Chains A and B, each alone.
Chain A
Amino acid sequence: MARRVGMEVSIAAAETVALLDVDVVAAYPITPQTHIVEHLSELVADGQLDAEFVPVESEHSAMSVCVGAAAAGARTFTSTSSQGYALMVEICYIASSLRLPIVMALANRSMSAPISIWNDHADMMLARDTGWIQTVAENGQEVVDLIMHAYRVAEDHRVLLPVIVNLDGFILTHMIEPIQLPTKEEVQAYVPPYKPLLRLDPDNPVTIGPVGVPEVYTEAKKAQDEAIKNAKPVILEAWDEFEKIFGRKYKPIETYKAEDAEIILVTVGSISETAMRAVDRMRAHGKRVGLARIRLFRPFPVEEFVDAVRGAKLIGVVERALGFNGYTGPLCAELKSVLFDNGLNPYVWNFIAGLGGRDVTVEDFEEMAECLEVKANKNEPMGYEIVNARE
């Protein structure tokens, strides 16, 4: 039986990785690192986890070690944040292109400058086009659950792609809260031992990562594109199986009171929990507001998103990143394209909130919903604004 513990979310994440019996953890051990790899290094040092812990000199090297280890057939894990992720990105493209099932916990934090250690989703957006599967946790329990899910999906031979589990830096990583920590038996029942399809083996030599001349590069990329598209049914199947074992249900787009909602706010990550309280308060005043929360970001769950927002006349996309394209945030641009492709034409306003650790409160969500109504009633041209920014 799972046990209910009070625990810092980073520690719970590390304990989960240890229950998964990873073979290799490679990570840069200092800023912007979290307690996740600190605790994993303790577990390895104390002999509680039989794994190679490689404390490399940079995140670039961390991902390089992960690539080598995964290519050799090891179950691998790493974790980073913000600037550290940025340094890792070069190798992240290689990990997904080589179809290596590496799992990363990305503790979402803002990109400098100005120097910021606080939370937003700039790094999640930097990971957007790297070909990794990406899921998003809203609380500590979901971090634990999504890490298990990540390995089950990544290592499935129908997928073989790396997975990022996004968790908000500080707001989740440094939070102490109750968590149902699974037992090793439960984890193993859900995630079978990793059996590599191909691996670097001197007795059975293969080439991994050769040159892709123009005659083959396009086809290699097409194959990779098909792989992430084909991953979606496996991702859903793995959540169904998860519910059977653990009783907790996950969907690619989670909704909250969205069925009859005229106004839908779209949220990503831990602010969704605060947004739910705002929805409850607005509903108590008769406003038909609901939420659509992005759980699966890559591959993007188009049908589920369209189903979730189909009935809404007004949509407010709340995101914690800027696109610097002069017209909208990165998530909102993508969602508008999904709406357009599916013949939906609601009024959409983009709220950029919670940058660099700025709190997003219940009152903020109430104001956003009101602002959305005012703009729609005035038929203002659709666009975006940075919430609560001083002039």
Chain B
Amino acid sequence: MIEVRFHGRGGQGAVTSAELTALAAIAQGKYGQAFPSFGPERRGAPVMAFVRVGEEPIRSREKIYEPDVVVVLDPSLPEIVDVQSGLKENGTVVLNTRKSIDEVRREHGFNCRLAVVDAMSIAMDVLKVPITNTTMLGALIKASGILPLEALHELIKHRFGPLGDKNFEACRRAFEETVVEE
């Protein structure tokens, strides 16, 4: 079972990222579970969302405290939230940032495997809005192999209707541009 924690700000679509990951896994015949961090929704405030994906039925009902992968949708979050908290020993933090792996490691003191992508630029370029949830799914897939990229295609098209193709394009570009530490 792979456990993923998404960090975003209210309105950035972290919950949608989690939902799409679980739905894609379920559509692939696997087991998946997605849920938000329950609470009053406030635009701009730090929020979390959680996903479990596995080959067996999932019986955990608690939040994810020791994720395999953490995805950070907003570049400013590592300054105010300990996004690496509880990360498993071989876990990965996937960051939306313009900076290099070395730079973010120096700035935030990460001591784990990192993956970086400039998702904001991709989203502005392809979608013309600073919403990085579908974009960062490409980065998650590149860094974790949790799903085949194609698993998201139909789902994103269905979810976003006329904007579906563009959202998948942003996702695909992030998949290609994400730099993953060995």
Q: Which residues of A contact B (CB under 8 A)?
A: 4-6, 117-119, 170-171, 174-178, 270-271, 273-274, 276-277, 357, 359-362
Contact = CB atoms under 8 A, between A and B. Distances in A.
Contacts of A271: 61
A171 B60 CA distance: 11
Interface string B13-53: 00000110011011100011111101110000000000000
Interface residues of B, number: 23
Given A5-B26, A6-B22, A357 B65 contact: no
A303 to B, nearest CB: 28
Nearest to B59: A273
26 contacts: A4-B26, A5-B26, A6-B26, A6-B32, A117-B38, A118-B38, A119-B38, A170-B35, A170-B38, A171-B35, A174-B35, A175-B35, A176-B19, A176-B22, A176-B23, A176-B32, A176-B35, A177-B22, A177-B26, A177-B32, A177-B58, A178-B32, A270-B61, A274-B59, A274-B60, A361-B62
A116 B32 CA distance: 28
A360 B22 CA distance: 23
A118 B39 CA distance: 8
Contacts of B27: 6
- Dominant SS among interface residues on chain B: mixed
B61 A274 contact: yes
Nearest to A138: B61
A171 B26 CA distance: 19
Contact of B65 (A118, A273, A361): A361
A178 B59 CA distance: 12
B36 A273 contact: no
Contacts of A274: 59-62
A273 B60 contact: yes
B105 interface: no
A385 B58 CA distance: 30
A299 B65 CA distance: 38
A271 B31 CA distance: 19
B63 interface: yes
Contacts of B65: 361
Contacts of A360: 62
A44 B4 CA distance: 36
Given A118-B38, A177-B33, A178-B31, A362 B62 contact: yes
B59 A277 contact: yes
A4 B31 CA distance: 11
Interface string B131-172: 000000000000000000000000000000000000000000
Contact of B33 (A4, A5, A175, A277): A175
Contacts of B58: 177
Nearest to A360: B62
A261 B25 CA distance: 36
Given A6-B22, A6-B23, A175 B62 contact: no
Nearest to B37: A170
B39 to A, nearest CB: 8
Given A177-B31, A274-B61, 17 more contacts: A4-B26, A6-B22, A6-B25, A6-B32, A117-B40, A170-B38, A176-B34, A177-B58, A178-B26, A270-B61, A271-B61, A273-B59, A273-B61, A276-B59, A359-B62, A360-B62, A362-B60
B111 to A, nearest CB: 24
Contacts of A276: 59
**Could you say which of A5, A178, A276 has the most chain B C-beta atoms within 10 Å of its C-beta?**
A178
